[in-house]
Structure 1
Amino acid sequence: MASAWGVAALSGLRRHAPRALLAFLLLLTLASLWLLQPTGENERLEGRRGHVDYGLPPLEHELNSSAQLQGVPAFVWEIPQLLIIGVMKAGTSALYYALCEHPRINCVAYVKEPFYLSSAEVAAQAREYHGLVQQERRRLFHLRYVQTVFNLTALSAGQVTLEASTTYLHSAAALTLITSRLMNADRIRMLVVLREPLSRALSHYNHEKRHGKQKATFGDAIAPELAILKSCHQQDTWLAQQNRLDEARPYEALYDCVQAESERYRLAKRRALPGYLFKSLYLWHLRPWLAAVPDRLHFVLHEHFRRDPITELAQLQRNIGLEEFDYESVREEITHEFQEGSRYNRFSGPMIHELALLFRAHNDLLELAIGMPLPWNEALERGHFVIPIE
């Protein structure tokens, strides 16, 4: 019996062995292709904001500083020349692809939004340059960043490149790394796209609802953030009545309160707030950037860019020192990024009116801080928003 079973098994093995071997070789090939992707590409393709695992080994095990830094072309230390650092759902993709049309700009980032400099893992790795002098530390960090994020073989000296990670504006780690670790830290220019804040919040909510990340109504989804905002505004009003606000920076106490309450919520609930309202408090997030690099921040208003992209791009290229390029020749490519579907969500009612009043106060502070007139009051006074379902 055993002998008969063995003969049958051997016969089956011979019959199915070629098929099994083929399947094994196919799996081996797929695994090899996965491993051969550029460092961190698997995680980057998933596009998880601020939670990218780049799989970086400790620097002291990977890099021999003297060998690693030899023969690096000089232009590598000058890239990227531009960073779009925010804000989410304000038109950063449209601006990125429009800038890519400029003949001197070569968009060689593996993905538009790598989120590299806001990664907690990258920030931790930046502290692992044991036994190296400061200049070597900066060079090694810069080299690792550009090798991970950009396709350097497609870039030539004299070309400009950029990436657009909207997490950077909200990340203290990104600010530190950009201003102290990159070799061109004193020359790199940051672009910020600003959108009427309530429209941005509604668009953010629509985006997450469409992708299945949010099932609650807008009112329920923003309730915790709105409660914090109301509480902090009440505290701020009391401080103002007691003449205890900093006259030079009257918004500091308010945003410190919002930040503290947000952190308290995160610790209690073990999850962060979605940021529908808080990510529209632009001055809150811009404060450290305005303090660190005020002359290298360039603002683009979503409403102006959407209405007249050619004029806005012409102004921007002058501000950032790019040679003049007639964007009219690529108008169709640029406006394609603004194409909308036929479905819209309509938002109005008492809650929207209340939010409009709250944001108006923040907008007034922002206008003073950046020295730029903001055309948002009309929309806020109307209290009725029609937001495309992107």
Structure 2
Amino acid sequence: MPSVVPTALTPTLPSLSQLKDRSPRWAKDLANVSTRAAALATVADRPGPDFLITGTKRGGTTSLFNYLLMHPGVLGLFPESRGKKSTDFFFADDQHSESWYRSHFHTRRHRERIERRLGYAPVGGEASPYYLWDPRIAGKVAAQYPGVKALVLLRDPVERAWSHYQERTQNGVEPLGFAEALAAEPARLEGEIDRMLADPTYHSTSHDWYSYRSRGIYLPQLQNWLTHFHRDQVLVLRSEDMYGDVQGVFDQVSEFLGLDRVTLPTTRTFNASHRKSSVPEPVRSELAEFYAPHNLALEDFLGFDLDWTSPDSAGDADGLG
């Protein structure tokens, strides 16, 4: 009669994620190179993105991408086990080819298998909050993928600026107080757009990291994308609507992408800051006054109310406007 090993002594096999965490760096690098080489060998059968989540920063880009990955008709970046949401290909990447970029998307053969199972075509894409902000990217995308659809999440710019600042301080790259950082922004960003436009390979850290105030002026960013894409290719959403009704906004996005409606297994947020605090006064009121005309112009352009922080409501530190 075979012996029975007591349960307490039975070894527990590590999960795939645990094995990845325990793997040395060289092993991970080798796996990445091998996987990319295999994907490049089949790149002729790999279309590019069907959609891009383009921003805004601190507006829920990561959450929306993770919600979409819960849909059976949405494909993550290849290989999906890496859990990447972006390739960063369209900004400051002069090291990789367009073939390298397409190697991150699933093959047509794989898509056809899924379509036979679902009854409709799956879609693939990526997400980067920098794609809306960098003025060069819309043109780059349109030149290579003119049929792509763009998802744009816009958050109350007062709250967005504060969240952006908190992220920078958490990451240890912002030594200034919030008011001081806003005052330093013009000097930090001076000449950066000109350098970016003159050099397609130049990535401005200042333009990315310290654009607390200017990044919340959304209308020029949207108009830039709509210069290159038809209006029906760009879906603009309020971040507040997504967090207030995740399933409802998810259904809206699914319809925009040509997908069947499904019920999300979870509506928790992703990549949210653990530091919960209100925008300090008097900066909150100053920002609300600054953004008021920009928000009004954006409302006129979009044709719906944004209901963001206004100068009259700026004293309510707990509200979103």
Query: Are residues 150 and 337 of structure 1, via their aligned partners in 2, closer, same or farther at CA, if it must alter by over 3 Å?
Result: same
List alignment gaps of at least 5 residues for structure 2: 1-22, 113-120, 197-203
Residues of 1 paired with 2:28 and 2:263: CA distance?
A: 42
Code of the aligned partner of 1:272: S
List alignment gaps of at least 5 residues for structure 1: 1-28, 42-53, 55-62, 127-140, 229-258
Using the size of structure 1 for normalisation, the TM-score is 0.61
Query: Are residues 278 and 39 of structure 1, via their aligned partners in 2, closer, same or farther at CA, if it must alter by over 3 Å?
Result: farther
- Post-superposition offset of 1:176: 2.2
Residues of 2 paired with 1:172 and 1:382: CA distance?
A: 30
Matching residue within 97, 100, 103 for 2:69 = 100
Residues of 1 paired with 2:304 and 2:269: CA distance?
A: 28
> Secondary structure in 2 aligned to 1:272?
helix
Q: Is the 8 A contact 1:360 1:380 kept in 2?
A: no
Matching residue within 30, 33, 36 for 1:36 = 30
Residues of 1 paired with 2:260 and 2:317: CA distance?
A: 38
Percent identity of paired positions between Structure 1 and Structure 2:
23
- Post-superposition offset of 1:279: 1.2
Q: Is the 8 A contact 2:152 2:235 kept in 1?
A: yes
Residues of 1 paired with 2:156 and 2:256: CA distance?
A: 22
Matching residue within 157, 160, 184 for 2:123 = 160
Residues of 2 paired with 1:102 and 1:386: CA distance?
A: 34
- 2:91 aligns with 118
Matching residue within 272, 275, 293 for 2:206 = 272
Residues of 2 paired with 1:96 and 1:31: CA distance?
A: 27
Using the size of structure 2 for normalisation, the TM-score is 0.72
Q: Is the 8 A contact 1:90 1:302 kept in 2?
A: yes
- Post-superposition offset of 1:93: 0.8
- Write the deviation string for residues 227-282 of structure 1: whole angstroms up to 9, x where unpaired: 68xxxxxxxxxxxxxxxxxxxxxxxxxxxxxx87665899xxx9735101111111
Matching residue within 369, 378, 388 for 2:301 = 369
Identify which of structures 1 and 2 has the higher relative contact order when contacts are C-alpha pairs closer than 8 Å and 6+ apart.
2
- Post-superposition offset of 1:112: 0.8
Alignment of 1:57-206 (within 5 A): 72-73=44-45, 76-77=46-47, 79-109=48-78, 110=82, 111-121=84-94, 141=98, 143-147=99-103, 149-150=104-105, 155-157=110-112, 158-181=121-144, 185-206=145-166
- Post-superposition offset of 1:350: 2.9
Residues 1:217 and 2:177 are matched in the alignment: yes
- 1:130 aligns with none
Q: Is the 8 A contact 2:292 2:311 kept in 1?
A: no
Q: Is the 8 A contact 1:347 1:384 kept in 2?
A: no
- 2:5 aligns with none
- Post-superposition offset of 1:39: 5.1
Query: Are residues 152 and 265 of structure 1, via their aligned partners in 2, closer, same or farther at CA, if it must alter by over 3 Å?
Result: closer
Q: Is the 8 A contact 1:113 1:166 kept in 2?
A: no
Q: Is the 8 A contact 1:265 1:272 kept in 2?
A: no
Aligned residue pairs: how many?
273
